[in-house]
Structures are given as C-alpha cells and as structure tokens.
Structure 1
C-alpha cells in the first residue's frame, strides 16, 4: 500500500487500560486458544511446547524444565532484540518508517498481514497508517474508520489485546467488520491486535493476522508483539504524523470536493512549514481518463486567511475559515507537462531552477507557470497513482531554487498517505467535478479570475457527498501565465545582482562632485555603470530609530516605481568608505573615494555607510527653481507675472506621485519644494519632469489606514496640526495639508510663515488655526483647492484622486485662457 502515517497528540489521547503481564485472554465471540496449547513460534522457528510441571502442588519446577524455559526465553528475547534493531534502522520520516515497519514485521514474524492504525479524536476515529501483506488492499478501501463495531474500538475495551480465531464462515460472521473482510477476501483466520501506548495514552494499534486458525495460540505472542510495538511509538507520536492523521480524517469527512481540496492544500502547506520551516505553494491536479487534459486546483491567496498575503495559519488546530474557501481552477492540456511525464513514468518530476530551465529548454513544460499568484523558483510534481491507475498529481513549489533532497522523503510519505483518501473521495467523481467546474456560466478563457456561481451537480451513486462547487473560482487558462514567469525571472535577476554586489570594491561607482551635505550624509554627483547618477551616502546612525529611518527610505525607494518618483538604480548596505588616496587609478575630475562591503570578520565598530544610487536630476529642486524665477517674472516694480500652467503642471505631477504612495499605504510626511527634484525633459512644455524624493520620514500605514503620532517629525512650516499632538491618529491627510502649503508657496514664490520661529508657527497653526493668506487676484479655483487641503479637520481634506481631478480641470482652464495661463499679480 502507499506509505501512511499518523501521530496522536498527548492532549488528544485516551488513557489506556493497564496492560497486564498475564497471558493472552480469550476475547470476543470467536474461538480463542488456551494459554498452554502448542503452536507456531512467533519467529517462524520450531513450535514452542508447553512446560511439564512435575511438582505442581509444591509449585516447584524441575531443573530440566527450568533450563528449558530459560533457553526459550533467551532465544525469543534475542529475536525481539533483532527485530527492534531493524525497526530502529527504518527511515526517519514517520510516514515512510511506518510502511517499512509493517513490511519488516510481516516478514520477520512470518505472518500473512501486518497493519498499523492511529487513533484520533479522543480515540473515536481510527486512521490506517500502513498495511502490508495478504488483503492489505482491502484495508485500504476504508482508510478512516469510526464507530464502536470496528476492531480498534473493541480493542480499547480489552485489558491487554484482542485475539480472534475462526475456522469457518459461520464463526467469521461474528468478527468485527474490518476483520471479517480480511477473512472473506484474504482467507485470514487468526488475528492479534495490540495497543501502541505510553504510560498515559493510546496512540494506535498494530495488528497481525495469519491464514492458520491456530496462528497465535502460544502465550508468547502477546508480550512479544507488545515489546515490538514500543519501536513504533517514536513515529506515531511525531508532530508530522499527528498533523497528517488529522488531515486524513478531515479529508475523509469533508462534505464536498471544494472543501476537501481546500483542506488538502492548506494542510500540506502547514505540514511542510511545521516540519521543515519551508513556506510552499501547493496544487492538486486531476487528470481525465484519456490523459489529455487536467484540472489544476490551487488556493486563492487573495481571499484565503492564511500564512500567514494569502498565507496560512501555523496553528494546525485552527478552525477552518468561516467564509467559503475559494479555489483557483485551471484547465491545462497534458501534452508537454511535468504532470504527464510523472504519471506515465510513475515517478516524481522536478525542476530545481525554473529561471535557468525556461531560458535553456527549447520546449519547457507548460504546467510550471499557470498562475501569477505565486513565485515559482523550483517545482516538483508527484503522481497520484492507485493500483496502477493514475488519477492526478500533487505539485509543490518553492520561492527559492532547490533540488528537494531535504524534503523528498517527507513529500513522498505525504503523497503516499493522502492518495488513499483522494482515490476514495475524488477519483470516482472526476467527471462530475469536471462538469461542475467547466459547465458553470462565466468561466473565463484568459488569465483573470471570474467569480461565478453554478447550478448544483448531482453526485454519482458511488458517493454520498454532495458536489457543491459554489465556492470554487474557475479560470480556464489556454496559455502560459506571463506574470508568473516574470516573477521568477525578476527574482533571478535580483539574485544575480546581489551576487555581483558582493565584490570587494564597487568599481562601477565613481564620484565627481559634491551636490550637498547634511548631518548624516553627503549627496554626490557621479557615474554608475557609465551613466550620470546621484549618489546619496548615508553614514551609519548611532541610534536604532535613526537607522530605521534610513532603512525605511532605502526600502521604499527600492520598492516603489513611478514616473514622478525618484528612481533608484542600486542600493548598498554596510559599506566601508575608503578615502585614503590608495586608489591609484583615479582619473582627473573624480573624487578619490571608493566603497567596499564590510567583511564578516571585520571589526563591527568600523564606521560604515549605506548608499543609494539614484537618477540624477540636473535642474535641482523645486525650491531652487522658485528662487530662480522659473514660475514668476517681474514685469515692473509693482507687478509679477505668474505662470499658472507651469505651476499646475508641477502640482499635478507631484499629486500623482503622492497618490501612488497612498495606494501602497505609504505616507511621505515631508512634502515641500525642497523634496521635489526636477529633471530636464524636452518632451514636456515646461522643459522638465518632477521627481518626488527624500523618504526619510515616510510611514507605513496599518490595515486600519492610520498610525499613531509619536514624534511629529518634519518641516514645521508644512506640518499638519495633528502632527503637533502626540498620540493623534495620522492618515494620508497629513500629505494633503503639506501639499496645500506648497500650493501657496508655488503661487506666491515665498516661504510660508516667513520670519517666524518654530514656536510661533506652532502657536499660529495648531492653536490659532491660522493659515497663509493668498494675495488679491488668485484664481478662486486654485485658492479653494489649497484651502481645502489645509483644513484643520483632516476628514474634510480631499484625497488625492480629488486633488488630481481638480488640478486637471484647472490646467485645462488655464491653457484655454487668452494669455496661455499667465497671470499678472500686483505686489504693491
């Protein structure tokens, strides 16, 4: 049979009856041997004979009888020792170990059948873990049993063991149903079942059976099998086997196929995560009878309350989600797939490095990338085959390259265990499942999931489970998923880049001039791989909070991509600066500074820095442009021309960048002209594009879209009132307030609250609720938007979708005016 395993957890066990040392009792209604009859040896040796007691009244044994008993004990104890030694050498993977153990015991004890069963649900459910020998396939037809009539339930009522012997069909009719089936199919006539237990819990049972009715008539069988059962305890009590058994029980009792598949994929993920601390993606495939097509099921990671991002909870006892599980279903052609190769050869097929595989293989398998939900760096598919008939496959994917050697045995044991339940529950229903998924209205022929409802499908006569696919989410994909391929190739490129950055010196980074200095760093102009770039060198901070700001800025800039946000080419952490003049290859016009990675064996107290290599913005900052009069032109001593179109174009680009951040649940927290850089762009009417920069004060929002204010950091002239109150709730509205202040500064060309100190500004903004005053003649729509942005009540401030819409309307209005958006403002 396939490998099957189970473990009973301590808190889910039933206390065993005391296991006495007395001889076997006559149990059940069938005929049972007496304790002193002759019978075959447990180890296939010559039959052991009863001992003659010449001095019975005195209880004395003759010297010859004592010697005979001692020899018998010596020989049989030696055989027990040998058997235990062999049990100790089986696989360390519990599910495989239990299968090896049943074969070992069956052959070593010369019995017709050996099976191991695990007890779960407080000893009310019994899961077949392994079986070997005559009629083992009969046991596999019902891998999960329950009820008081099966042999395992009857065993719990006995003080030591369960022993049946039958000689004819009439006696066999009195056997427990599971043993009666073994008699009818395999001709087995004697049965011995022993509990596998610790001193406080029963975790399972081992049963052996023979075709001879007197197979277990001597007293030695019961204590011998009890001793050997101790060698199975380590596998039955492992966490892996416990989870696997609980999963098999839930699969067997699942009410319909969607729930069964959801529990299977969830359980497999949790088992692998618990056993090997490896997050995996799991898929189940069901093939059609002609082996031409397959349905591939995988959990919807967007809706599944899992690992735990669509991730899965690490608690194996966590209840199933209250909402219906949602499953992605993909129809694939089997030609040129790993799945077809696996089921035809009856062996697992894997790709250890998918990125290299799809680049080097002329005709790569089409079932690797079928969904954009997961990043597939390596993949293995194990065939689901029962009695020579393939009915599907089980996929496991990893986000890193792997040859699966570290989890090979665990995967094989897992699949060999679940194949029994899947064969019973899904194989016979394949046609109905196919119809339930593909005949429903709204099934898509592209890569986008379609939520659809379908009419109920009547189950086949072979099952009592209703087939209800209302929770399924079908997708029929006729082509490879490009998104999934993109993810793995991007991962490979990033991995290769990381390796190249491990070089001792970053020779491709050259510095030419200093653009600016601050308390914790320097910004240089330089070249990166031959192209002009801005290089921000941030020296390591002494305090964790300050270091976190630098780390957050690097994380955001390397993760966020938008046309109006500064683009980062590369990021280096824990670098050592060398400005000693030792670099003899420096050319004229370059600063003699170079950087290398801090080595693991170097003094951790050595001064280090982090480096951001960014696109170079040749037009400096927006503040610099304001000072140069880019947006204002003095006409005479009393009036200034304001370029409204240019101002609104700049504001529109900045607003689009901020809206992108807000969509990612990020707050910039320092919107001001100094943090908006300008880069020449001849394609634009104003001659440049804006680039939002400096994310040192940025915040990541929680799920409830706010964070608690702890510091009130930022530029005081642009801070929203709530930032002056410790403990207040900060939302994206703080950026809206700063944006409103920047609108005033752009229009007037002045600094907000010019000449006032920090305390005076706080008093004016926070306590008096005062704001800057627009000059006479400002366009009403412009002033109205700015005033709406700096509302004292943050809930009244418009979001940036509204801001963008109003600025777009404003730009069209100004462009249609007679003077092309130029406005004359009196300065008198």
Structure 2
C-alpha cells in the first residue's frame, strides 16, 4: 500500500486483512483509523500496538518545533485527565476531512457496556511535514475550551486520545446546518427555523457570558450541528479565543471564512464579540431563505462588496419585519451598532413564543 491512500468508509474493508499486513511507515493515519473499526477484534488489539510505531515513523518527518508543540499538546491532555484509549473506539465512517484533521463516526463503550455513537476528530495528515505549530496550538486551545464548556447548545466534550492525537465529542446525527438547509428533502417550517437560530443564539450567549468572554471567531452554518431531536449545537472551537481584558490587547488578524467574516476582521482591525454577532446575521439570512451567502462570488469579490462598498445580502422577501430588522442590525458595518447576543436571544425568544402562542390559538378555533 502506498503512502497517501485514502479510505472514505470502513464498510468496504476486507475483514481478512490483518493488522500485521499494515506497514506503519507506509500506511497513513486516516487509513489505519478508518479500518480499525472493521477489523476482527483480535486484529484491533494488534493495530493499537502498531499505532505507536506508526506515530514514531511520522514524528521523523516533523520539524523539531512541531515535535515540541506536539509534546506540549499531549502533556496538556495528560495534565487535565479525560484520556481515552484509541483502542476502545470502533471507527465506522468518515464524516469529513479538512486540511489538518479528519472527523469520524465511531462507537465508544458505555458504562453499562452498550456502545455510544460519538464523533472522533483526529489531528494529522499524510504529510506530517505540513503540520504547523499553529495547527497544534489551535487544536490544544479547542480541546481546552471544549472541556470547560457545559451547555445544551454547545457540542459536548467526552475525552481525548493521544495516540493518535484526537478529541471525542457527542455525535449529531443530522449533521451540519449548511447541508441541512440545502437538502430539499428536508422540510423546515418557520417554527423549526426559529428554533434553530434561537438555540444557536443560546449557545453563543453562553460563550459570551463566560469570564473572560469566549469569542468563537468562526461562526458559520458549517459549524452548527443538529442532533436527532433537532437540538442545535455550536461546534469547532479551533479558532476560538478568550477576549483580551484590555483594549490594547484586543485581537486583530483574519480568522474565519469570508462569507461570514465581519468587516473589521477582514481589515485586520481590533475586534470583539460583536464580530460573532455579524456572523450570526449571515446565519439568520441563510436559515430564512435556505440560500448560500454570496454564492458564486470569489473572496476578493466578497471583500470588495462587504468592506469597500458596504453592501449586504438582500433581505429575503416575506421575512417578518422583526426578523429582517434583526438581520440588518446584526450585520451592521459599525460594530457599535450591533446588538449583544443577550439582546439577540431576547428578540428571537419573543418571536418564537409569539409564533407558538398564535398556533395554539389557531388550533383552538379550528
């Protein structure tokens, strides 16, 4: 098997292949992780032992700085506890692949023996030379934040693994919001849409209420998950940071994705939690119209429209006035004109309550 082989799912794996036939130096991490769930239980135990050898082989391709950052990340996991054995995870499917991580659907044994479906985000690529100190630092920060958070609208942290380096969280069966919005087979009522954005606002309100304040910095529909009960969960805290205590220490620099990025972030100016509010304004627009923001536009075109010309997406026809006004306020060019998430949540909860009340009255009169 050549280096760089990819496997999209473990379901197509030949169960007769043994762990001994996998060369640690020639088998990439994603392939090994995807196959472990399909192996015979005895072979799984062998593979867990092989993994350490593979990790050493990959370390040889790292720079000294990256290897040191990896050691710091692993040490931080051990310091706070919550370490899970990779051998206990039974990987079943690949949910998504990014530049420096792959997310898997997996089974984790429960306290009573019954397995629980979880999501496993494994850091690493086939080319470990491409791994940067920043990537490892962002991952360490993400895990550090996740373990601190406890809210029904924030994806739940369940533990970490160190060999390979990864984090285990709750599994959300309905996937991310963007895919859901553009799945024509899924009917979304106005009540459902209101519930989704209200849940998201609750999660963000919780983050911003922490002391120090936690900024998400990459809020977008791709980073909002829905579980089987339609509960919304904010996820992906790789770019999240604690808000600086002093104005002089406010963060600058580009983070996030241009379609959802606030003008002050694009311009690498100082920003605070109101940059997240801007991103949420785009999400409000997405959810109502079930459309892709700035579809067909390049990043350069988006920057020119949003920053230079101060243009915004057209408010969807038929949007309730209160909802349309909230969108416009959230994506205001001047951060000072944007509401805090506590106010955003209050508006959405009021709209949701009015809608539910009107439907109850209508049902009584039918």
TM-score normalized with structure 1 length: 0.32
The answer to whether the aligner puts 1:617 opposite 2:165 as a matched pair is no
The answer to whether the aligner puts 1:809 opposite 2:350 as a matched pair is yes
> 1:677 is matched with which residue?
225
Structure 1 668/497 Cα, relative in aligned 2: closer, same or farther at 3 Å? closer
* Alignment of structure 1 residues 766-781 onto 2, 5 Å: 766-781=307-322
Name structure 2 gaps, 5 residues minimum.
1-76, 110-114
> 2:116 is matched with which residue?
531
The answer (yes or no) to whether the contact 1:741–1:752 under 8 Å persists in 2 is yes
Max radius of gyration: which structure?
A: 1
> 1:512 is matched with which residue?
92
The answer (yes or no) to whether the contact 1:558–1:571 under 8 Å persists in 2 is no
> 1:818, CA displacement in angstroms?
5.4
> 2:281 is matched with which residue?
740
Give distance in 2, aligned partners of 1:629 and 1:812.
27
The answer to whether the aligner puts 1:651 opposite 2:192 as a matched pair is no
> 1:785 is matched with which residue?
326
The answer to whether the aligner puts 1:667 opposite 2:215 as a matched pair is yes
* Alignment of structure 1 residues 243-262 onto 2, 5 Å: none
The answer to whether the aligner puts 1:626 opposite 2:178 as a matched pair is no
The answer (yes or no) to whether the contact 2:138–2:238 under 8 Å persists in 1 is yes
The answer (yes or no) to whether the contact 2:82–2:160 under 8 Å persists in 1 is no
> 1:697 is matched with which residue?
239
The answer (yes or no) to whether the contact 2:100–2:135 under 8 Å persists in 1 is no
Structure 1 630/742 Cα, relative in aligned 2: closer, same or farther at 3 Å? farther
The answer to whether the aligner puts 1:798 opposite 2:353 as a matched pair is no
The answer to whether the aligner puts 1:544 opposite 2:133 as a matched pair is yes
Q: SS in structure 1 opposite 2:293?
A: coil
Structure 1 629/730 Cα, relative in aligned 2: closer, same or farther at 3 Å? same
Give distance in 2, aligned partners of 1:550 and 1:500.
15
> 1:723 is matched with which residue?
265
Q: SS in structure 2 opposite 1:702?
A: coil
The answer to whether the aligner puts 1:555 opposite 2:110 as a matched pair is no
Deviations 1:658-693 (A, max 9, x none): 111111211001111111111012xxxxxx111111
Q: SS in structure 1 opposite 2:236?
A: coil
Give distance in 2, aligned partners of 1:774 and 1:499.
46
* Alignment of structure 1 residues 137-176 onto 2, 5 Å: none
The answer (yes or no) to whether the contact 2:252–2:271 under 8 Å persists in 1 is no
Structure with the larger strand share: 1
> 2:46 is matched with which residue?
none
Structure 1 522/659 Cα, relative in aligned 2: closer, same or farther at 3 Å? same
Give distance in 1, aligned partners of 2:159 and 2:174.
22
Give distance in 2, aligned partners of 1:496 and 1:763.
46
- Kindly indicate whether structure 1 or structure 2 has the higher relative contact order, using CA contacts under 8 Å at least 6 residues apart: 2
> 1:783, CA displacement in angstroms?
0.3
> 1:514, CA displacement in angstroms?
1.1
State the number of aligned residues.
275
Structure with the larger helix share: 2
Structure 1 536/819 Cα, relative in aligned 2: closer, same or farther at 3 Å? same
Structure 1 769/707 Cα, relative in aligned 2: closer, same or farther at 3 Å? farther
Give distance in 1, aligned partners of 2:78 and 2:166.
19
> 1:737, CA displacement in angstroms?
0.2
Q: Which runs of 4+ in 1 moved over 6 A?
A: 494-497
Q: SS in structure 2 opposite 1:750?
A: coil
Structure 1 720/698 Cα, relative in aligned 2: closer, same or farther at 3 Å? same
* Alignment of structure 1 residues 496-511 onto 2, 5 Å: 498=81, 506-511=86-91
Give distance in 1, aligned partners of 2:286 and 2:248.
28
Give distance in 2, aligned partners of 1:671 and 1:515.
20
Give distance in 2, aligned partners of 1:705 and 1:554.
27
Name structure 1 gaps, 5 residues minimum.
1-493, 576-608, 633-641, 682-687, 822-828
Deviations 1:351-392 (A, max 9, x none): xxxxxxxxxxxxxxxxxxxxxxxxxxxxxxxxxxxxxxxxxx
> 1:706, CA displacement in angstroms?
7.8
The answer (yes or no) to whether the contact 2:285–2:316 under 8 Å persists in 1 is no
Give distance in 1, aligned partners of 2:312 and 2:358.
29
Please tell me the root mean square deviation across aligned C-alpha atoms, in Å.
Answer: 2.5
Give distance in 2, aligned partners of 1:660 and 1:521.
27
Deviations 1:203-259 (A, max 9, x none): xxxxxxxxxxxxxxxxxxxxxxxxxxxxxxxxxxxxxxxxxxxxxxxxxxxxxxxxx
TM-score normalized with structure 2 length: 0.70
> 1:815, CA displacement in angstroms?
2.2
* Alignment of structure 1 residues 704-715 onto 2, 5 Å: 704=246, 707-715=249-257
Structure 1 531/517 Cα, relative in aligned 2: closer, same or farther at 3 Å? same
